[in-house]
Structure 1
Amino acid sequence: MDMQNLINQNMIKLGLDAKDKKDVIKQLTKVLKKEGKLIDEETYIFDVLEREKEITTGVGKAVAIPHGKSCGVKETSVVFARLKNQVDWDAIDGNPVKLVFLLAIKKEDANNTHLRILSKIASKLMDDEFLNKFLNAENEEVVVNAISAIC
């Protein structure tokens, strides 16, 4: 799997202003739609929010990795946001979220691809140096390069 095919600079939002996690998901879904990655925006949002009901995707260290395996997805993708203000995400460490990696997974990619992307991002984010690249990124290119470097 080539991570650099999952994201581009238009799919990076630095300083996203959102009031809560549902607002974050909706705003990032609009980015996916604009980039032609979705078939049906509402179906995808529904699937992501249903997944959120199962167990939190707030993985700690101010990071959330919400995701949806959905027939509303045209092309498996990742969209990233660094939030202007932290948002409560019911994270496992109890802290609010600043960084959000929203995964849009085609139904056909639901098993292996979904788990590989999730695993690669989550494991790399345990490295504080890697995490700081996202917290301190000056532009979208820095974020795309960091995500693309995940092999």
Structure 2
Amino acid sequence: MRLSEYMEPELVTVDMKADDGRQLVDELTRLICSQHDYIDRDLLANAFIERQHKGRAGLECGIAVYHALVRGLKRPVFAIARLADELDLGTLDGTPVRIVFALVSPEDSPATHVRLLARMARLFNRPKIQNRIRAAASRLELYNLLRKEDAGHV
């Protein structure tokens, strides 16, 4: 299963602005719903927040992952945001967040959701790819980088 099957260039951004975790959730929700307007924005935001309460979104190496299973979704949706400024989200290693991934899957597809999360972990836990994400000059460059990495990774 390839993550790139669920990528859209419109769901990649390189200068997202957020002053705190709540604003970040709002911006991620806005980004996803801008391309998938059938998704209930409040439902998605609440799902991200509820998931955050179960475990932190900030991981390590300046990366955060927001994910949720949502009712009414047609297929998984993947988004990535590189933040304009670092954000303290209480990561495991104390590193401020600059890279944010979001994965939303249909409520009735938890196995697919877990497989995609595992794929994300394998792809994005490598320092080389993290540095390339941070250095991408544009949304399109970042999108193409992610597709290429996904295609080349077993």
When normalised by structure 1's length, the TM-score is 0.90
For 1:130 and 1:16, how far apart are their aligned partners in 2? 19
Deviation at 1:88, TM superposition (A): 1.3
Percent identity, aligned pairs only, is 22
1:14 corresponds in structure 2 to 14
TM-fit CA distance, 1:72: 5.1
Q: Deviations over 1:5-53 (max 9, x none)?
A: 2111111111111111221121111111111165211111111100101
Q: Could you list the per-position Cα deviations for residues 67-112 of structure 1 after superposition, in whole angstroms to 9, with x for gaps in the alignment?
A: 11111534311111111111111111122100000111111222x2
Question: Which residue pairs with 2:63 in the alignment?
Answer: 63
Q: Which runs of 4+ in 1 moved over 6 A?
A: none
Q: CA deviation at 1:123?
A: 2.2
**Match for 1:18: what amino acid?**
A
Residues 3 and 120, structure 2, Cα contact 8 Å, conserved in 1:
no
RMSD: 1.6
Distance in 1 (CA, whole Å) between partners of 2:80 and 2:125 is 17
- 1:91, 1:26 → 2: CA distance? 19
Would you say how many aligned residue pairs link Structure 1 and Structure 2? 150
* Distance in 2, Cα, partners of 1:56 & 1:93: 12
- Cα separation, 1, equivalents of 2:85 and 2:69: 27
Secondary structure of 1:123's counterpart equals: helix
Structure 2: 5+ residue stretches without partners: none
What is aligned with 1:100?
100
Change (3 A) 1:67 1:74: same
Gaps in structure 1 of 5+ consecutive residues: none
User: TM-score scaled to structure 2, two decimals?
Assistant: 0.89
